[in-house]
């Protein structure tokens, strides 16, 4: 009887120890992930000069401004930040580089918490891509306004939008890009030109990988003869 109680006690201790070990390891993993997330979310800024106004909690960075956040490097000549809201107004040779995209513009509103960047004025976006044969297949966007979320790379371009891809030239008043679905939704005076052919309409969807095109509303098309 005593041996049975002793064995029962030992088994109970082993179970309790195992459960404690599992809880401890889970806590360590969770703590490491939280620490990593905090490190990745850190934003660093450098500049030639900085002015801080404590009364309104704003910082003004001027001269060779460099802002880094995870895989994003942002450069400009001036950045005015609301420290509490993490919102910045940036101007002067604005340039954002992230892995396979580069964006330039005249001014920028940066919402750091949301990883949202709104460019204005002569905006140029270059998406570095390769086709199925691993050949360069970049897409270049020109527009007046560009609203992009850098965590998904989804974006909306407005104002004299012009998109170049291989032999394609696409123009519209508005273009919405979905990175996951690899498609561009076009609105307003849409026109797509490719080689000696063109098609226009009110709305269109361009599927990037397959280069399939759907156009609707006042559709017109033409072919240039030799």
Q: CB count, 10 Å around CB of 13?
A: 10
Number of domains in the chain: 3
**Rounded distance between C-alpha atoms, residue 214 and residue 161, angstroms:** 18
Q: Are residues 18 and 73 in the same domain?
A: no
What pLDDT score does 100 carry? 92
Q: Are residues 186 and 101 in the same domain?
A: no
Q: Are residues 28 and 76 in the same domain?
A: no
Q: Which pTM was predicted?
A: 0.79
Helix (H, G, I), strand (E, B) or coil at 71: coil
Q: Longest C-alpha distance within the chain, in Å?
A: 103
Q: Are residues 221 and 181 in the same domain?
A: yes
Residues 163, 140: contact at Cβ < 8 Å? yes
User: Which are the contacts of 199, defined by CB distance < 8 A and separation ≥ 6?
Assistant: 191, 192, 213, 215, 219, 220, 221, 222
Q: Are residues 57 and 137 in the same domain?
A: yes
- Digits of tens for pLDDT over the chain (226 positions)? 545 555 555 555 555 445 444 544 454 444 455 444 444 568 888 999 999 888 888 889 999 999 998 899 999 999 998 888 889 999 999 999 998 999 999 999 999 999 999 999 999 999 998 877 788 889 999 999 999 999 999 999 999 999 999 889 999 999 999 999 999 999 999 999 998 899 999 999 999 988 899 999 999 999 987 7
- 211 domain residue, yes or no: yes
Q: Are residues 53 and 139 in the same domain?
A: yes
Q: Are residues 60 and 77 in the same domain?
A: yes
Q: Are residues 116 and 182 in the same domain?
A: no
Q: Are residues 60 and 148 in the same domain?
A: yes
Residues 103, 95: contact at Cβ < 8 Å? yes
Task: For residue 4, give its domain range.
Answer: 1-34
- 159 domain residue, yes or no: no
- 158 domain residue, yes or no: no
Task: Identify the domain boundary among 152, 181, 211.
Answer: 152
């Amino acid at each position: 009887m005593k041996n049975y109680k002793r064995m029962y006690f030992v088994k109970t201790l082993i179970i309790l120890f195992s459960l404690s070990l599992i809880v401890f390891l889970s806590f360590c993993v969770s703590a490491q992930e939280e620490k990593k997330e905090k490190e990745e979310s850190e934003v660093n800024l450098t500049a030639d000069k900085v002015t801080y106004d404590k009364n309104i909690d704003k910082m003004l960075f001027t001269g060779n401004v460099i802002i880094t956040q995870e895989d994003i490097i942002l450069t400009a000549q001036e950045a005015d930040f609301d420290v509490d809201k993490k919102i910045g107004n940036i101007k002067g040779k604005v340039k954002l580089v992230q892995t396979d995209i580069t964006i330039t513009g005249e001014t920028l509103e940066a919402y750091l918490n949301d990883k949202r960047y709104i460019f204005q004025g002569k905006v140029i976006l270059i998406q570095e891509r390769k086709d199925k044969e691993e050949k360069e297949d970049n897409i270049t966007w020109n527009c007046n306004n560009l609203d992009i979320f850098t965590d998904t790379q989804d974006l909306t371009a407005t104002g004299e939008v012009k998109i170049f891809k291989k032999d394609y030239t696409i123009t519209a008043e508005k273009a919405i890009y979905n990175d996951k679905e690899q498609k561009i939704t076009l609105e307003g005076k849409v026109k797509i030109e490719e080689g000696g052919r063109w098609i226009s309409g009110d709305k269109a969807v361009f599927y990037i990988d397959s280069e399939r095109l759907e156009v609707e509303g006042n559709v017109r098309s033409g072919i240039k003869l030799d």
